[in-house]
């Protein structure tokens, strides 16, 4: 905070509150969160009726300031800022506008600071413990992928497969089942976030499975694409382009390299093979990857014009989906860890369309 010249940080419910204080509480219309100053323990702000439960969750500090339903929680925040003689306040990126506007009305002289250099920057660099948990979660999800691949039969529905993956994640020790699931067949694999409704698996279908779980709150997120049956030459061609693009992006992932370099490397391969260019389809219509931690999508984002340098401890996905609407899509998604000397995969990428799991 001192380096960023920030006097205080507000963390409402959500991933950042859990990251900095250990308190697991979701976001809602009521302000419940922590105020962190340059010195001392956090001070929690909560609805009065939630105080008993909040106190059960506290791990760092024990000061809780409460507000009744008809009172303004933003007045409590303003009082703390005044007591701390704070002039600059940073927010978590996910802070609702209603909270920001409320604090502005109660503390009009406070300067609001971009949260990226404070809250987000801390979370983007993973500790050895975080890396170990994420690596384990990714391994669990990769195993679920293998088991799903082995169980496929003609006539199965995408909803059946998602339910099976959910059960496998639970059996494997995840916090719950799937945190999300995308299962698509045939031409519906071209839609990056999956089909609408139920599909039935047929011989020769392209199959895309994108699933994840949480372990101690940390996320996994892996996608595999393959063919149920014998691939056609066209399916092999598109899969090979995606595979090449994923590898090129990984090769560009180095400490100090701008995030945009990773995106451009993938996009260049796809354009070389006659797709795109840029975000045009058939081609790659979205960014190449995203960071991952307590949230499935967090910084750093591997996207054009993001000059943020990759830093040792960053974890991010590489998933340059090749979308050919009306025909098929291919997404191969694995995550890498930035190290002092380069990057390393957290899971082994697919070898080929015939051997998606080696």
Domain finish residue from 81, 102, 123: 123
Instruction: Report pLDDT for 321.
Output: 98
Domain CATH for 19: 3.40.350.10
Model confidence over 159-199: pLDDT tens digits? Answer: 999 999 999 999 999 999 999 999 999 999 999 999 999 99
- What confidence tens digit (pLDDT) does each residue in 261-295 have? 999 999 999 999 999 999 999 999 999 999 999 99
Confidence of residue 116 (pLDDT cuts 50, 70, 90): confident
CATH number at residue 290: 3.90.230.10
Co-location of 184 and 113 in the same domain: no
On whether both 94 and 188 belong to a single domain, the answer is: no
Domain end position, chosen among 123, 140, 173: 123
On whether residue 132 sits in a domain, the answer given is yes
Residues 180, 79, single domain; the answer is no
**Whether residue 151 sits in one domain with residue 99:** no
Task: Quote the CA–CA distance of 242 and 320 in Å, as a whole number.
Answer: 7
Same domain, 45 and 112: yes
The whole-number average pLDDT for the span 228-249 is 98
Q: What is the pLDDT of residue 14?
A: 97
Do 54 and 152 sit in the same domain of this protein?
no
Q: Are residues 113 and 192 in the same domain?
A: no
94 and 222 housed in the same domain: no
- 353 domain residue, yes or no: no
Q: What Cα–Cα distance (Å) separates residue 66 from each residue in 33, 70, 85, 124?
A: 11, 12, 21, 31
Report yes or no on 62 lying in a domain: yes
Q: At what angle do helices 233-252 and 259-272 cross, to 10 degrees?
A: 150
> Over the stretch 40-62, which tens digit does the pLDDT of each residue have?
999 999 999 999 999 999 999 99
Euclidean distance between CA atoms 291 and 340, whole angstroms:
18
144 and 197 housed in the same domain: yes
Residues 6 or more apart whose CB falls under 8 angstroms from that of 213 comprise 137, 140, 141, 144, 169, 172, 174, 175, 176, 177, 178, 179, 219, 220
Name the domain boundary from 123, 154, 187: 123
Whether the CA torsion 340, 288, 332, 350 is positive or negative: it is: negative
Q: What is the pTM of this model?
A: 0.95
Q: Is the pLDDT of residue 224 over 90?
A: yes
Supply the pLDDT for residue 199: 98
Q: Are residues 205 and 130 in the same domain?
A: yes
- Are 184 and 256 within one domain? yes
Sign of CA dihedral 92, 98, 99, 105: positive
Report pLDDT digits (tens) over 312-352.
999 999 999 999 999 999 999 999 999 999 999 999 999 99
* Total structural domains within the chain: 2
Q: What is the DSSP letter of 104?
A: H
**Pick from 248, 245, 223, 325: nearest CA to 280:** 325
| Kind of pairing between the strands at 111-113 and 88-91 | parallel
In this structure, the answer to whether residues 110 and 161 fall within a common structural domain is no
Domain hosting 60: range is 8-123
Q: Which two tokens stand for residue 100?
A: 């920001």
- Pick the closest to residue 334 from 356, 352, 350 (CA basis): 350
């Amino acid at each position: 905070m001192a380096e960023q010249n920030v006097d205080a940080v507000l963390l409402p419910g959500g991933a950042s509150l859990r990251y900095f204080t250990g308190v697991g509480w979701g976001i809602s219309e009521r302000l419940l969160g922590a105020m962190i100053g340059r010195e001392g323990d956090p001070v929690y702000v909560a609805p009065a009726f939630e105080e008993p439960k909040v106190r059960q969750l506290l791990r760092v500090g024990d000061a809780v300031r409460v507000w009744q339903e008809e009172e303004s929680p933003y007045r409590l925040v303003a009082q703390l800022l005044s007591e701390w003689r704070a002039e600059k306040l940073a927010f978590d990126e996910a802070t609702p506008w209603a909270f920001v506007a409320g604090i502005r009305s109660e503390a009009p002289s406070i300067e609001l600071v971009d949260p990226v250099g404070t809250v987000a920057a801390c979370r983007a660099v993973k500790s050895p413990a975080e890396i170990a948990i994420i690596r384990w979660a990714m391994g669990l999800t990769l195993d679920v992928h293998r088991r799903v691949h082995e169980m496929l039969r003609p006539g199965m529905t995408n909803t059946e497969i998602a339910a099976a993956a959910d059960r496998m994640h639970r059996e494997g020790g995840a916090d719950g089942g799937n945190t999300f699931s995308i299962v698509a067949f045939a031409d519906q694999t071209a839609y990056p976030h999956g089909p609408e409704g139920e599909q039935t698996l047929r011989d020769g279908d392209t199959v895309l499975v994108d699933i994840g779980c949480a372990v101690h709150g940390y996320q996994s997120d892996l996608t595999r694409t393959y063919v149920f049956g014998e691939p056609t030459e066209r399916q092999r061609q598109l899969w090979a382009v995606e595979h090449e693009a994923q590898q090129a992006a990984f090769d560009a992932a180095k400490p100090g390299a701008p995030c945009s370099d990773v995106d451009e490397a993938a996009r260049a391969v796809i354009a070389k093979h006659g797709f795109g260019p840029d975000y045009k389809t058939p081609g790659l219509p979205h960014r190449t990857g995203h960071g991952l931690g307590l949230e499935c999508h967090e910084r750093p984002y591997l996207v054009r014009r993001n000059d943020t340098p990759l830093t040792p401890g960053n974890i991010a996905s590489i998933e340059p989906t090749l979308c050919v609407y009306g025909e098929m899509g291919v997404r191969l998604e694995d995550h890498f860890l930035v190290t002092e000397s380069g990057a390393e995969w957290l899971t082994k990428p697919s070898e080929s369309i015939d051997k998606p799991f080696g």
